[in-house]
Amino acid sequence: MNDGTIAFFDAHAVRTALPMASAIAALQHALRDGLDPEADPARSVVPVEHGQLLLMPSHAARYAGVKIASVAPANPDRGLPRIQGSYLLLDAETLGPVAVLDGIALTAVRTAAVSAAAADLLAVPDAERLVVFGTGPQAHSHVEALRAIRPLRHITAVGRDPQRLARFLGQYEAAADVVVEAGTPDAVADADLVACCTTARTPLFDGSALPARATVVAVGSHERDAREVDDETVRRSTVVVEARSAALREAGDVVLAVESGALDPDELVTFAGLARGEACPDDSRPRMFKSVGMAWEDLVLAGVAYEALRN
């Protein structure tokens, strides 16, 4: 029950409260416990002059909440985050506010944790080689998250900007247990895991090069006309989505493949079905997880963070 006190948690507090392994486990547990992503309200997207404003509400048994976020594509060139925002967590019974959490930190952990929670159910157990497209915060978060679920030994980073790529690689120079180097899109031919963490609007690599053992996670867009993977990747893969309704509404990687005939929407596998053992990946073909980011994920992790921090 809410006593009227509102706690404020900054980025450091949120990250401290959400170790990646704990965040991954919390998302899987929520789905296995019966949470229905299809019941999530649709994200509200409001175009503004310099980007988008997003409103993402959700509710569950103990908490309700809403994330208010902005997406400003030009911000990275100014040295500012592309995504900004705050999360308001409410008591489910009284709907009174109990906490405000840093939305950038929550989103960074949530996005990568969702990818890893799905990849943990899809990737081959001995996955060692990761190809990551992108050099921003989500690329770093995905390296952290995927290392939490698989014994990665080799990471190839693919980036368009040489300076950002060099800075990305520099953060792993001291890592003794993994080789991190620059590469090209052709590196997917030897990949066990591929993480697409970019703002690209057209495919990043040739899907015909993917080995059957590979698992692809694509997280860069929630727009119907943007995609990071091509039709061939989708056609060859078992495609897993957070929710069919959200994917067919927002995921260009899915929508464009359906429109071209490369994907039958009835063949989409849901994250919840995968987590509950109601669906199994086909090990004879690549697996792909397409995430658009959903409000229930923020709510689950905001609740976990709040309970860890309030004590």
Whole-angstrom distance, CA of residue 198 vs CA of residue 47 = 20
**What is the per-residue pLDDT across 253-273, written as a single tens digit (0 to 9) for each?**
999 999 999 999 999 999 999
Question: Angle CA(259)–CA(256)–CA(247) in degrees, nearest 5?
Answer: 105
Other CB atoms within a 10 A radius of the CB of residue 67 amount to: 26
Written as six digits, the tokens of 84 are 């900004």
Other CB atoms within a 10 A radius of the CB of residue 112 amount to: 29
Does residue 311 carry a pLDDT above 80? no
The ranges assigned to domains in the chain are 7-107+296-309, 111-293
Give the pLDDT confidence score for residue 3 in this predicted structure.
Answer: 67
- Residue 168 phi/psi, 5° resolution? -60, -50
Does residue 287 carry a pLDDT above 90? yes
CATH number for region 111-293: 3.40.50.720
Q: What is the band of 2 on the pLDDT scale with cuts at 50, 70, 90?
A: low
CATH number for region 7-107+296-309: 3.30.1780.10
Give the pLDDT confidence score for residue 193 in this predicted structure.
Answer: 98
**What is the per-residue pLDDT across 131-176, written as a single tens digit (0 to 9) for each?**
999 999 899 999 999 999 999 999 999 999 999 999 999 999 888 8
Whole-angstrom distance, CA of residue 155 vs CA of residue 178 = 7
Whole-angstrom distance, CA of residue 217 vs CA of residue 229 = 10
Q: Which residues contact 280 (CB under 8 A, 6 or more apart)?
A: 274
Q: Which residues contact 277 (CB under 8 A, 6 or more apart)?
A: none
Contact in structure between 197 and 220 (CB atoms under 8 Å)? yes
High-pLDDT (> 70) share of the chain, %: 99
Across the range 30-58, mean pLDDT stands at 94
Give the pLDDT confidence score for residue 1 in this predicted structure.
Answer: 54
